[in-house]
Structure 1
Amino acid sequence: MQINFKKEILPHLLGIVSFYTLIVLYFSPIMFEGKMIFQSDILQWEGSAKEIQDFREDTGEEALWTNRMFGGMPAYLINTEYPGDISRAVISVITLGLPHPINGLFFGMVAMYILLLTFKVRPEISVMGAWAFAFNTFNMLSLEAGHNAKIWAICLIPLILAGIHMAFGGKKLLGFSVTALALMLQIRFNHLQITYYTLITILIYAIGQLVYYIKEKQLPEFGKTAAILILGGLLAVGANSNRLLSVLEYGKYSIRGEKTLEGNTQNESGLNKEYAFSWSQGKLESMTLLVPNFSGGASQEALGEDSNTEKALQQNGVSGAQLSNFIQGAPTYWGDQPFTGGPIYGSIIMVFLFVVGIIYAPKRFRNIFVAITIISLMLAWGKNLAWFNFTLFDILPGYNKFRAVSMALGITLFAIPVLGCIGLENLFSDSDQKRKLKGLLMSFAIVGGITLLLIVLAGAFGFKGTADTNFPEWLTSALRADRKAMLQKDAFRSLAFITLSAGLIFLAIKQKTTYFYATLGIAVLVITDVWTINKRYLNDESLKKNPSSSYFAPTAADKKIMQDNGYFRVLNLQNTFKDARTSYFFNSLGGYHGAKMRRYQDLIDRVLQPEINQFIQKAQEGSFDYQSLKAVNMLNTKYILAGQGENGVFQNSQANGPAWFPGEVVPVSSNEEEIQQIPNINTKTQATVNTSEFEAQAGAGSVSLSQYLPNELHYSVNARKGGLVVFSEIYYPAGWNATINGEAAEIIRTNYLLRGLMVPQGKSEVVFKFEPKTYYRGSFIAVSSQYFIILLLIAGLVMPYINRPKNGRER
């Protein structure tokens, strides 16, 4: 067996080096200065995961439950490690030790490079496509926001499709193992919405291949390949069985599961449409694929010197810091979304090449990737294409669990460079010079013509943003003039990039330069294009020295509460249910998570939020009515936080404590009736129990918490009269077990979402343990599947070389 190093290894090695180099250069402060990206969502995650990580560090075990967020929730929705899981080690190896999360972008380039090679695209074009895919603004904006799992899930899509394409290309073992590995890693990152979009992408590809195989009368071969790939998918699912079983089990009890309240008018299960489609991209806004600043960039964008807005502000007496602050964060965005961190853009050059692909790519693949592009755009338009998306929302299994449908643009920015690179490869391979020139001219005329029209007709768009209603007419007029100028400036920029790219291709066709150097020149233009746009949003200012240390530095208020070593919860009145900073230090009524428990969300909407608002209103009038906080008190909320200073801490003397005997059991027959009772009862002396599900009688006595761990709580009970004890802990039926003096006991749901137990008269010890069977049940299957996938991949990579004789042809 002989390997031609120059042809078979060197081009790929240079490609990998270029990927690594680009990551190092763009993120040099991370690589060389120890800085980190200031990711707001990751800071929130750190707050929510603190108790879990501390428990792991102290005990070497997994907590599986945390009481730091929303009164308590499963930890495997936040941060859980699984025994025997080798996926983390696999990721470290395939990303050459690059730090998380920027290693995802590196691997995205590798994955796209492999995919394009499987479509027989030459290495230099494949490298260009890989650069464009990884450095699109969708990835960079997601990185800045802290959506690391989303980035990884998207960056694995090319490798998943590469494996599938290999299998359909005859390399069944290698294709099977690559598909299984890539899908295993994607599922590991637990971004089910991107995985759902991936399955839609695969389905479109499969339909395209099916049509081809039917025409070629090779349907049995299609069936055989599809069956092999389905087995690979099942193996990937098996490799994540412990993770998936736990998440799927929790899904039934989350806001994405079935409704709890009988009077709820939203869907029987899943999210309501208003919430799910709140981030829908406008149809016209998709023009940002051609012109980055078509919709004004980010919700807050810095305007240049001598802008119309700056002049208008100066003319109306605004100056100094007020003027500077407004100009540096002007509301330039005029798209359809509530707000945005920046435009969705992956280089105008790739859109130009995409049109080349429509003309030159093989019909089968042209149809597949055009369909993927169109459908992903339609999905991203959400409520702006209601007839399509609302229908899918109602009929597609599981689709109503997802929100922020503009996320589908990640698929758009995957499909465009794939077809673009296939198109350029086929244009270069065409032997007819006249046909090549005609195709080039047509592609340039289409994309260049649209861009030119955007410049000429820019005034027709109106440029009205949702923020404009807050400003006087003189200011909105200036803002709209600046938005128009931003569009036209970027449109000229885009036109320049495609003109230069088309010029390089023209020179290559005319044999004034080689195709290699033309491709290299276009690649430089592509990376220059996306690099400079990305630097508007993710730049050195986004990188900080350990942002966690400053964000989580204890305030005077935190330190005051820390002096109390008891067991309690804290209510932070500032952004209560969308901030997890409080969770870093204390058990919190609030937090930050996209999949709260359904019953807790019900309590927030129907009881907690109105109760808190009423308390704040009275407090502002000088009356601190702690007794009115019925639900807050039953959640053992000892401290209310209203600021960062010591005077921002208020001790709630009416908190119910960890557990208590209510003197009266209030029977209810439905969830709706029960939640309506919470604001009306005295939660210290009364407790609701749904008698259609549980039986309970009132008792009397005392209860104290004797030992606390996140997944295990011990109580000492002294009952003068046996009966119901209410615990200020969230009821979750899938994993919590209770014993009374070592004997198993039924956990009763009381007060809509708290735990209760019927205890006997006298002294007893109550122990709650969180022992979810799904976590343990899937471990053996997951570990076995992971090792099997790795062995299959090694076999798939080695077998072709073993079977290849010295003359280089396979036996």
Structure 2
Amino acid sequence: MKNIQKIIPHLLVIIGFAIVSLVYFYPILQGNKIFQSDIVQYTGMAKEQNDFRKETNEEPYWTNSAFGGMPTYQLGAKYPNDAIGALDDVLRFLPRPADYLFLYFLGFYVLLMVLKVDPLKAFFGALAFGLSTYLIIILGVGHNAKAHAIAYMPMVVAGVLLVFQRKYILGGILTMIAAALEINANHFQMTYYLLYLLLIMALYYGVLALKNKEYTELGKTLGVFVIAGILAVGVNASNLMATSEYTDFSIRGKSELTFKPDGSINTTNSAMEHDYITEYSYGIAESFNLIAPRLFGGGNSETLGEDSALYAFLLNYGATPAEALQTVEYYGKTYWGDQPIVAAPAYIGAIVFFLAVLALFHDQRKIKYVFLAGALLSLVLSWGKNFDGLTRFFIDYVPLYDKFRAVSSIQVVLELCLPVLAVMGLQSFFTADKEKQWNSLWKAAATSIGIIIALFLVKGLFNFSGAMDEQLIQLFSESQDKSFGINFIKVLKEDRMSFYTSDLMRSGILITVAAAALWLHIQNKLAATTAVIAVGFFMVADLFMVDKRYVYNSPDQFKSAREVDMPFEPTEIDNHIAKDTSIFRVYEIQGRMQARTSYFHKSVGGYSAVRPRRYDQLFDYNVEKNISELGNTIDFQTLSFTKSNPVLDMLNVKYVIVPTGQGEVPITNPFANGNAWFVEKVKFVSSADQEMKALDNLDTKKVVVVNTLINEGQDFKGSESIKKDSTSSIQLTSYKPNQLKYVSNNTSAGFAVFSENYYKNGWIATIDGKEAKIYQVNYVLRGLQVPAGKHTIEFKFEPQVVKTGSTIALISSIGMLLLIGAGIYFERKKKA
């Protein structure tokens, strides 16, 4: 009975989390789904593989609908023996995106339980963590994998803390399961950033153990982590191994080219360019958005209304109310921070910040410094190019740091650490005597309010100028007198200053209210529970109101299930192209980096942060660099090309969607090489640079480029001249994403080029059932030596990495179950 009574508060809390999650995203209860921009792109990218899975109940692991062909490892591929994925599905039982919000709450609640926080305070603390503005915004835009990984981060920290507290069995099991779920979330950037916090924690406890000469305990701790880590990695072996194998093939791998598209020398040693990695760098002063949301204008979609100075200015200028409001909403860009695009400020809550400061003054546990160090490290690293010395050091010398872009997102560690400190401060406040309470309270309040006042005083140091201001002035000067644009920006800056002032006042009032509630408790005017509820209510309500500005900033945020599941409607162009039932590719010039084309056709473009590097370079260095020349070869009367484009031809691009002043039109390419063809000559080169440059003026129908450095050791038997007669042919007879069949007919031994993307791992080629070597040719394509006569050629994608990984996952899952069973047995035995 006592055990049941202990469980009841936790059950009520979990039920409360589920209710809050559903109510927050209440349209899902009406059968609607949230419209997430990134998920729309994913839907386009994954259309072919999802259709194939549905029709055949098989997993293709390859799609030809994007970037000329790529593995689906980062496109939602499903692997055999994925037991940890099944557990994750159980935990995410609510409809999306309420499931991720529930996971935020649950994971943080587990961490607070480990920190000995009582359920009521932990309930409010978990809500504050989950409703942190950044965590809500990523759900709005569709960064589901990121949200998924963040949700399990607190649970991993909880398990690690238990192990360091020498609760080896419980801590080891929790660490093992939480780490497995964290890896399974498949957002390695977030998991990587979590390791920084865990490293700080390990250093703290490691130094403590060495100082106290607790070598045996330290050895046990390391042993538990090793076992937990091996099994957590093991159950995710399929995805980890496949992703690792694919990384170098993607843009996350280092370029083999020593020059850039403009011809300049490529000097970077990183997997990605420094500017690309640090494009999204948080401004140093902008970091105060953490405690006052619109100090720097909020987000890019922030809108001004009829109560703005800009609206009044336009009315005075002679605009009608409707015109003024439309202009304000479209051109009133309030964000003036350092980042190119910001959906919303990363606001953690004024009261959360105040309580975190309270913890630093009041809580006696030294673990608070671990969370403080984690928060500070993530803050300075989020500054990126604005703190360039440290950032360059990490990019150049810290392993894997250069694999990830958008350095500002490392603030997720801070978003975890400060709410932890806040709840620690609230919990410890009620465990001290009145004198200690007052001493800590006035210091925390003075510090927090002092920062608010200081920001008021330094307002004059800011110019409130945004990146778009000059463009707006130039835009308005074309249709109005130049003074209009200058005055427009001047008044817009007044609105930005208004945001700055009003949000500082708002945060100051919230901090005062929270401090007042705690002071009333010290004065015996409020009971402890009442004070906690008051502080918790304002803390959560603050975040709730700020979040609502951004998640529901459009009536289209939630749509019918059909609109979300099928977000693209075919255009006349799509219907026109669909009449062609042959296998070919489509190039949409304006939308190459979008997935809409991939939804309907086999595209040379797509939307992916890990797109194939060489294919991407081919367009940057060759096709799009000469895009104006391509336009000069179009006959708009017949809607076809009048001249061959060798690179597009070899990629079997049969249709190019070209933008015009009257909209887009489909241009037919009659020069496309087809699915495969025999060549007459081999041009040997010895570097990636020579490969790329050779394509500038290459007759791809007759000549193939072979890099002897890449194909070294493959026993290439070709010579510069290859026999080919006019009757030679090779035809695609059967198509599946992971299986292609051809019939070839040639009187002499020849060399065939296939318009498919080369990927060295997983593709197996056979000629009449006998395995043949696949050569990487023309920088991105496949080539085969074909003997004389009539033959059946077949390509199958059978990645060994998936087979090996799934076997490891099965063994690890069994090991994990055995350890959990043994742990439960020994824990019960210990209690008995």
When normalised by structure 2's length, the TM-score is: 0.93
Among 683, 691, 695, the alignment partner of 1:678 is 695
Shift of 1:720: 2.5
Superposition deviation, residue 499 in structure 1: 0.9
**Distance 1:25-1:52 versus aligned 2 partners, 3 A rule:** same
Distance 2:320 2:739 in 1: 59
Alignment match of 2:811 (pick from 759, 784, 787)? 784
In the alignment, the residues of structure 2 paired with residue 455 and residue 804 of structure 1 have an alpha-carbon distance, to the nearest angstrom, of 58
**Residue 499 of structure 1 corresponds to which residue in structure 2?**
512
**8 Å contact 1:699–1:719 — kept in the other structure?**
no
Task: Indicate how the Cα distance of structure 1 residues 148 and 331 shifts in structure 2: closer, same or farther if over 3 A, else same.
Answer: same
Gap runs ≥5 in structure 2: 261-265, 474-484
Shift of 1:457: 3.8
3-state SS in 2 of match to 1:627: coil
Q: What's the offset of the Cα at 1:85?
A: 1.2
Q: 3-state SS of the aligned residue for 1:588?
A: coil
Matches within 5 A, 1:456-495: 456-470=457-471, 471=473, 472-495=485-508
Partner of 1:808: none
Q: Which of 604, 613, 616 is the matching residue for 1:601?
A: 616
Task: Give distance in 2, aligned partners of 1:299 and 1:764.
Answer: 59
Q: Is the partner of 2:771 in helix, strand or coil?
A: strand
Name 1:20's counterpart in structure 2.
18
Counterpart of 1:3, as a letter, is K
Partner of 2:571: 555
Distance 1:798 1:348 in 2: 46
Letter in 2 for 1:23: S
Displacement of 1:318: 4.4
Q: Which whole-Å CA distance do the structure 1 matches of 2:269 and 2:717 have between them? A: 27
Percent identity over paired residues: 37
**C-alpha distance in structure 2 between counterparts of 1:324 and 1:795, whole Å:** 67
Quick one: structure 1 residues 548 and 21, their matched pair in 2 at CA, closer, same or farther if it must change by over 3 Å?
closer
Q: For residues 549 and 179 of structure 1, do their structure 2 counterparts lie closer, same or farther at Cα, with a shift above 3 Å needed?
A: closer
Contact 2:745 2:791 in 1 (8 A): yes
What is the Cα deviation at residue 21 of structure 1? 1.4
1:344 counterpart residue number: 346
1:674 CA drift (Å): 1.4
- Check whether the contact 1:210–1:219 (CA below 8 A) recurs between aligned residues: no
Matches within 5 A, 1:184-199: 184-199=180-195
Question: In 1, distance between residues paired with 2:631 and 2:503?
Answer: 48
1:57 maps onto 2:73 in alignment:
no
Q: In structure 2, what is the Cα distance between the partners aligned to 1:321 and 1:802?
A: 75
AA partner of residue 17 (structure 1): I
Cα distance, 1:724 vs structure 2: 0.9
Deviations, residues 568-607 of structure 1 (Å, cap 9, x unaligned)? 001112221x200110111001100011222112212111
The C-alpha deviation readout for 1:630-657, integer Å capped at 9, x for no partner, is: 2111100111123699972221111111
Partner residue in 2 for 1:282: 283
Contact residue 140 and residue 551 of structure 2 kept, 8 A: yes
Cα deviations by residue, 1:658-697 (Å, 9 ceiling, x for unpaired): 0111222222222111111112012112221123434434
Q: CA 1:71 to 1:321, structure 2 compared with 1: closer, same or farther past 3 Å?
A: farther
1:9 CA displacement: 1.6
User: Which residue does the alignment assign to 2:603?
Assistant: 588
- Partner letter of residue 241 of structure 1? A
Structure 1 equivalent of residue 425 of structure 2: 423
SS at 2:733 equivalent: strand
Report how far residue 13 of structure 1 moved: 1.7
Task: Tell me the equivalent position of 1:630.
Answer: 646
Do the aligned residues in 2 keep the contact of 1:184 with 1:240 (CA within 8 Å)? yes
Task: Confirm whether residue 658 of structure 1 aligns to residue 675 of structure 2.
Answer: yes
Q: Does 1:689 align with 2:706?
A: yes
**In 2, Cα distance between the equivalents of 1:274 and 1:69?**
26
Contact 1:737–1:770 (CA under 8 A) maintained in structure 2: yes
Q: Distance in 1 between matches of 2:458 and 2:66?
A: 51
* AA partner of residue 314 (structure 1): L
Deviation at 1:628, TM superposition (A): 4.3
Amino acid at match of 1:502: A
Separation (CA, whole Å) in 2 of partners of 1:799 and 1:101: 38
Further displaced range: 360-369 or 178-187:
360-369
Q: 1:238·1:781 contact (CA, 8 Å) conserved in 2?
A: yes
Paired residue for 1:389? 391
Find the counterpart in structure 1 of residue 75 from structure 2: 78
SS in 1 for 2:88: helix
Judge conservation of contact 1:235–1:785 (CA < 8 Å) in 2: yes
| Cα deviation digits, residues 181-208 of structure 1 (max 9, x gap) | 1111111121111111111110011111
Secondary structure of 1:587's match? coil
The 1:144/1:417 distance shift into structure 2, 3 A limit, reads: same
Distance (whole Å) between structure 2 residues aligned to residue 208 and residue 281 of structure 1: 28
CA gap 1:534/1:796 in 2 versus in 1, 3 angstroms: farther
Is the 2:379–2:414 Cα contact (8 Å) retained in structure 1?
yes
In structure 2, which of residues 370, 374, 387 is the aligned counterpart of residue 372 of structure 1?
Answer: 374
- Alignment of 1:564 onto 2:596: no
Deviation of 1:739 (Å): 0.9
What's the RMSD between the two structures over aligned residues? 2.1
Aligned to 1:809: none
Which residue identity is paired with 2:774? I
Secondary structure of the 1:355 match is: helix
Query: What secondary structure, in the 3-state scheme, does the structure 1 residue paired with 2:765 have?
Result: strand
| Shift in Å, 1:62 | 0.8
Aligned equivalents of 1:126, 1:344: Cα separation in 2? 22
Confirm or deny that 1:614 pairs with 2:612.
Answer: no
Q: 515-524 or 704-713, which moves further after superposition?
A: 515-524
Which of 238, 253, 259 is the equivalent residue of 2:255?
A: 259
Alignment map for 1:390-469 (pairs within 5 Å): 390-431=392-433, 433-469=434-470
The corresponding residue for 1:518 is: 531
Contact 1:254 1:595 in 2 (8 A): yes
Q: Secondary structure at the match of 2:756?
A: strand
Contact preservation (8 Å) 1:166, 1:175: yes
Instruction: Look up the equivalent residue of 2:542 and give its one-letter code.
Output: D
Give me the whole-angstrom Cα distance separating, in 1, the residues matched to 2:292 and 2:355: 15
State how far apart, in whole Å, the 2-side matches of 1:319 and 1:340 are: 31
Aligned position for 2:477:
none
Please tell me whether residue 728 in structure 1 is matched to residue 755 in structure 2.
yes
* Mapped contact 1:295–1:333 kept (Cα < 8 A): yes
Q: Which residue of 2 aligns with 1:112?
A: 108
Give the 3-state SS of the residue equivalent to 1:429 in structure 2: coil
The 2-side partners of 1:549 and 1:232 are apart by 38
2:305 corresponds to 1:308 = no
2:58 corresponds to 1:42: no
1:27-82 CA distance string (max 9 Å, x none): 1101x111111111100000000110111111111111111111010111212111
The corresponding residue for 1:228 is: 224
Partner of 2:478: none
For residue 130 of structure 2, the aligned residue among 129, 134, 140 is: 134
SS at match of 2:272: coil
**More deviation in 622-631 or 769-778?**
622-631
Amino acid at match of 1:421: V
Partner SS for 2:179: helix
Q: Report the counterpart of residue 737 of structure 1 in structure 2.
A: 764
Name the SS for the 1:703 alignment partner.
strand
CA contact (8 A) 1:738 1:747 kept: yes
- State the shift of 1:612 in Å: 3.1
Q: Contact (CA 8 Å) 2:66, 2:602: kept in 1 or not?
A: yes
SS of the counterpart of 2:205? helix
Query: In structure 2, how many angstroms separate the alpha carbons of the residues matched to 1:309 and 1:194?
Result: 40
CA 1:652 to 1:449, structure 2 compared with 1: closer, same or farther past 3 Å? same
1:643–1:649 CA contact under 8 A, matched in 2:
no
Q: 1:215 to 1:620 in 2, by over 3 A?
A: farther
1:74-104 superposed Cα distances (whole Å, 9 cap, x missing partner): 1112121111212332123224x20233312
Contact 2:641 2:667 (C-alpha < 8 Å) held by counterparts: no
Indicate the residue corresponding to 1:248 in structure 2.
244
Contact 1:612 1:629 in 2 (8 A): no
Q: Distance in 2 between matches of 1:710 and 1:317?
A: 60
- Shift in CA distance, 550/149, structure 1 to aligned 2, threshold 3 Å: closer
